[in-house]
Amino acid sequence: MRKKITLIGAGQIGGTLAHLIALKQLGDVVMFDVVAGIAKGKALDIAQSSPVNEFNINLIGTDKYEDTKDSDVIIITAGVPRKPGMTRDDLLGVNLKIIKQVADGISKTSPNAFVICITNPLDVIVMALQKYSGLPKNKVVGMAGILDSSRFIYFLSQELNVPVQKIKSFVLGGHGDSMVAMLDFTEIEGKKINQLVSEGKLKKEKLNAIIERTKKGGAEIVKFLEKGSAFYAPAASGVEMAECYLKDLKKQLPCAAYLNGQYNTENLYAGVPVIIGAGGVEKVVELNLSEQEKKDFENSIKAVQELFEAAKKIDPSLK
């Protein structure tokens, strides 16, 4: 029996998610969008490519939540993306309303789904989604850290002319300008990045510029596209999380997860290393952070907390 994967939002990221899932044959796909035609058209278009890429899955498009019933995985991109000059936080008001609708829609029809939220501003939107839906905290998770880490690793690989597979790193904290590139946990061909800096193989200013470019990675693409934001790398990142759950891979991945005392943080979602397997978010991994990383991480947590306060002003029912 094939798994059922519902994509709430069939826009730029949603369409790319559907295509990647089809090529990987992860399961049958239901594309849901309030603009039903977008969902139906993209589902049919991808389905028509199945003979070429030899995949056998069912794809449908809909604007009816009953068609998404009993999903195993739900990936949410419903919402509006940034326009040039906007910050991710500027999307809070409009996307908070949308995520409430989505929460109402999925909680009744797919109470056992593993729910991956991508909609921005990510950390607060995924938190609102969990609170509005009442779904288990270990089954509601946000995608941002994998994307931010992938951008950071890509920029390093370009600078150092090293294959991406030879670079290990991750970015934690809020999905915003306060995100933290974990340098103590960054290795290039098995060598700590700080060692490359002290050996003069990577200038500190260059490394700082790469960190800055990672933080602004989304805005750089928004500026190029003018209408819309990044979608290929975000979709690839969301699929990695879905695959990890569906195949019980128990990978350690940077994701926006519920903190219940870990990293001295209560009742907040933020980017941390987690183990994802068949149980959803099976573990929040607590790292021994350097003093600097602890300070930077706390600063990032503070930014998420401040945005959550803003969300509570918009909707006092959020606690």
Q: Does 41 bind ligand TXD (CB under 6 A)?
A: no
Query: What are the tokens at 244?
Result: 């990890």
Measured CA to CA, the distance from residue 273 to residue 24 in angstroms comes to: 25
Give the range of 108-116, 129-137, 224-232, 287-295 binding ligand TXD by CB under 6 A. Answer: 224-232
Q: Report the residue number, 231 or 263, with the smaller CB distance to ligand TXD.
A: 231
Give the range of 94-102, 205-213, 261-269, 309-317 binding ligand TXD by CB under 6 A. Answer: 94-102
Please select the residue that binds ligand TXD; options are 122, 180, 241, 257, rule is CB under 6 A.
Answer: 122
Q: Report the residue number, 26 or 38, with the smaller CB distance to ligand TXD.
A: 38
Q: Does 278 bind ligand TXD (CB under 6 A)?
A: no
Q: Cβ distance 103 to 139 under 8 Å?
A: no
Measured CA to CA, the distance from residue 168 to residue 192 in angstroms comes to: 10
CA quadruple 279, 301, 75, 12: dihedral, nearest 10? -150
Measured CA to CA, the distance from residue 105 to residue 100 in angstroms comes to: 9
Q: Does 102 bind ligand TXD (CB under 6 A)?
A: yes
Annotated catalytic residue, options 175, 231, 242, 244 = 175
Of the candidates 257, 310, 309, the one whose C-alpha atom is nearest the C-alpha of residue 285 is 257
Q: Does 42 bind ligand TXD (CB under 6 A)?
A: no
Give the range of 11-19, 166-174, 261-269, 309-317 binding ligand TXD by CB under 6 A. Answer: 11-19
Report the interhelical angle of 232-246 vs 12-24 (nearest 10°): 40
CA quadruple 75, 78, 82, 87: dihedral, nearest 10? -70
Please select the residue that binds ligand TXD; options are 95, 110, 138, 178, rule is CB under 6 A.
Answer: 95
Buried b (16+ CB within 10 A) or exposed e, 85-106: eeebbebbeebbebbbebbebb
Binding positions for ligand TXD, 124-153, rule CB under 6 A: 143-144, 147
Please select the residue that binds ligand TXD; options are 31, 118, 255, 275, rule is CB under 6 A.
Answer: 118
Residue type, 104: D
Measured from the CB of residue 55, what is the shortest distance to ligand TXD in angstroms? Answer: 22
Q: Report the residue number, 197 or 236, with the smaller CB distance to ligand TXD.
A: 236
Q: What does the per-residue mask of binding to ligand TXD show for 45-74, with x meaning CB under 6 A?
A: ------------------------------
The number of residues in the chain equals: 319
Q: Report the residue number, 99 or 193, with the smaller CB distance to ligand TXD.
A: 99
Q: Cβ distance 159 to 186 under 8 Å?
A: no
Q: Does 36 bind ligand TXD (CB under 6 A)?
A: no
Q: Does 8 bind ligand TXD (CB under 6 A)?
A: yes
Query: What are the tokens at 2?
Result: 């094939």
Q: Does 38 bind ligand TXD (CB under 6 A)?
A: yes
Query: What are the tokens at 251?
Result: 């990978």
Measured from the CB of residue 259, what is the shortest distance to ligand TXD in angstroms? Answer: 18
Q: Does 311 bind ligand TXD (CB under 6 A)?
A: no
Q: Could you confirm whether 19 is annotated as catalytic?
A: no
Q: Report the residue number, 104 or 248, with the smaller CB distance to ligand TXD.
A: 104
Q: Does 79 bind ligand TXD (CB under 6 A)?
A: yes
β-pairing verdict for 59-62 and 114-117: unpaired
Residue given tokens 């969301």 in the structure block? 238
Measured CA to CA, the distance from residue 120 to residue 154 in angstroms comes to: 22
Task: Enumerate residues 6+ apart whose C-beta is below 8 A from 35.
Answer: 10, 63
Binding site for ligand TXD (CB under 6 A): 8-14, 33-35, 38, 77-82, 91, 95, 98, 101-102, 118-120, 122, 143-144, 147, 175, 218, 228-231, 234
Q: Which residues are catalytic?
A: 175
